[in-house]
Structure 1
Amino acid sequence: MTDNPAIALRNILRGVMRDDAHIDKAWVAVLGANVGTLDFSLRHSEVVALWRQVYDLLFALPGDDEDRSQYLSYMGHYYTAIVPPDAWTNAGSSVANPLIVDQLTGIATTLQYRAIAAPKLGDPALSRLRDAITEWREILDEAEFDEKLSTELHAQVDHLEWLLDNVHLFGSGPIAETSKKLVGSGIAAMGVKPSFAKRIGKALAPALVVIAMFHTVTDDLKGITEGIADMKDAVVEIVTPPKQIEAPKTKELPAGKSETPPESPTPEDGARG
């Protein structure tokens, strides 16, 4: 089974195409946040990101591909359905043509057939990632990072948790992308706080597994985990300040003895009687 952004986008648009509610009410029902709030903005932006992901995958198809040109012609319609040009409070929520929205099923099939849709992340991987969030919160409480890095890590961890809670809506793609950002920030945090490097490396391991699973088709999780352990140890070694090289101790010599070795006799000296 694949994790297909076109299917995720189709399901969301089907959810907001309700005749019994205003546009804003329909989106509130799908995203679980009120229009105009920060939470709504963050969650709605993930829908826009899904649109861009579908667009990029279609655009990457060969230029003479008939599916490419046909499906790209629908993308403007989908964007207008996501970001309505009129007020959110307009009556009715049929902002998209159901027949065109259903074409997203065909787009999803094309992406899957071309093997450019990623494998779906399993429950074990997602569960380990959720456990890592708990570890991250403990690290953030104890490590006392500077305000900028702390804010960045808190935001990424919070967003990752929300995406895990809504994986049924957005799929695994946003989880993998947010995991990439967390790994980047986490490696920086290891350099800032070497004493927390091992704990941070452990917390990053599930994110690295998710990234590897999402971008490469592999079932060898043991091998991936071992590779991550090697990477973690290497990072710990790199960021840990090296010990100062001690100067060699001077050997104590008996009284009257010189530390300078005697000079070797020259050939002329050896010839003299």
Structure 2
Amino acid sequence: MGFTSENTAAHHLHAILSRIQGSNASSYAAGWGLALGAEWGSLEFSKKHSEIVNLLTETVQQLNALPERPRNRYLRYVPSWWTAVIQPVASWTDTNRPAVQIIKQDALDHLESAADIIAGTLAGSDAAPRSADLVAMKQQCGEWLDLLNEIDELELNGPVRDQLVAQIEHLIWLIDNVEMFGGARVAGEASRVVGSLAQAGATLTTSDPNTASRWQKAWFALIGICLVFNTGAPVVQESITSGGELFKEIAAVVQSFEADEPSAPPVE
């Protein structure tokens, strides 16, 4: 897939709420179940709905990165979006509250407008990644799982390793569900994984040079993939020591990925 401007958390939050509103379901619970493709009350439902909450959280964070006028204009609608996602007062299973009532149309329209502003203003960051191709990132995640499962507990603390595995498996799950949660959610989680791996790598105690070399190369490769996907995600940039050998090695990885990437279609 090539560049898409509708890759933000706000776009995908809007898509989910629109799906619920237009579902003709007899209750909020039924509407959510249809939109998420999961049974109300199930573990899958809870997991997917939690990610929708993350979409809202990221949307609010990204609104705060906008210039003052649009930021203040759209922040006024955050309580309406939060109420639609959480429904703290209404019973979700009340059949007297059909799904069409989950959010007012003007609040939904402003959410879509906010998404377009975020996409235009923050393009190229992990808030609005320019690419939609996640094949390389998923493949690299698989290689990280192989590496972590092969590392001895004496080299990397067991709980640290288990947490890294859980984070990477969650990133793979987000990639597999990118149509629902979007590229921005994947990009944000990938940046967090990069940070966690950096911290764990600093505590890695190994006398095996092969393990250390594999860790370093895998870390560089994941950063390179993130940079290509996001075109410079802020969290990843903070991990780079400008002008140092680390930067040069990462830059070489990025160039190799860019050379392999097909040209993206022009933005209309």
TM over 0.5: yes
1:216 partner letter: G
SS of residue in 2 equivalent to 1:149 = helix
> Runs in 1 of length 4+ with deviation above 6 angstroms?
none
SS of residue in 1 equivalent to 2:99 = coil
Q: Compute the TM-score of the two structures, normalised by the length of structure 2.
A: 0.70
Question: In structure 1, which of residues 12, 27, 32 is the aligned counterpart of residue 32 of structure 2?
Answer: 27
Structure 1 unpaired stretches of 5+? 218-223, 232-273
Percent of paired sites with the same residue: 29
Matched residue count = 221
Q: Compute the TM-score of the two structures, normalised by the length of structure 1.
A: 0.69
Question: In structure 2, which of residues 84, 106, 115 is the aligned counterpart of residue 108 of structure 1?
Answer: 115
Could you tell me which residue of structure 2 aligns to residue 199 of structure 1? 214
Question: In structure 2, which of residues 120, 124, 146 is the aligned counterpart of residue 138 of structure 1?
Answer: 146
CA deviation map 1:121-164 (0-9, x unaligned): 232xx111111122122223221333311220121111101110
Closer, same or farther: CA 177–57 of 1 in aligned 2, 3 Å: closer
Higher relative contact order (CA 8 A, sep 6+): 2
2:35 partner letter: V
CA distance in 1, matches of 2:129, 2:221: 16
Is 1:88–2:110 an aligned residue pair? no
Is 1:11–2:15 an aligned residue pair? yes
- Cα offset for 1:10? 0.8
Question: In structure 2, which of residues 149, 164, 170 is the aligned counterpart of residue 153 of structure 1?
Answer: 164
Structure 2 unpaired stretches of 5+? 234-245, 254-268
Closer, same or farther: CA 144–89 of 1 in aligned 2, 3 Å: farther
2:34 partner letter: A
Is 1:228–2:250 an aligned residue pair? yes
SS of residue in 1 equivalent to 2:56 = helix
Tell me how large the CA RMSD over aligned residues is. Answer: 2.9
Q: Within 5 Å, which residues of 2 pair with 1:161-200?
A: 161-190=172-201, 191-194=203-206, 195=208, 196-200=211-215
Closer, same or farther: CA 215–14 of 1 in aligned 2, 3 Å: same
CA distance in 2, matches of 1:166, 1:90: 29
2:99 partner letter: S
2:64 partner letter: F
Closer, same or farther: CA 43–193 of 1 in aligned 2, 3 Å: farther
- Cα offset for 1:203? 3.1
CA distance in 2, matches of 1:37, 1:225: 45
CA distance in 1, matches of 2:67, 2:196: 36
Is 1:40–2:51 an aligned residue pair? no
Closer, same or farther: CA 198–119 of 1 in aligned 2, 3 Å: same
CA deviation map 1:198-255 (0-9, x unaligned): 22333334431343242628xxxxxx99632889xxxxxxxxxxxxxxxxxxxxxxxx
Is 1:128–2:136 an aligned residue pair? yes
Please say if residues 129 and 187 of structure 2, whose CA atoms lie closer than 8 Å, have aligned partners that are also in contact: no
Is 1:58–2:63 an aligned residue pair? yes
SS of residue in 2 equivalent to 1:118 = coil
CA deviation map 1:155-185 (0-9, x unaligned): 1111101110111222222212222222233
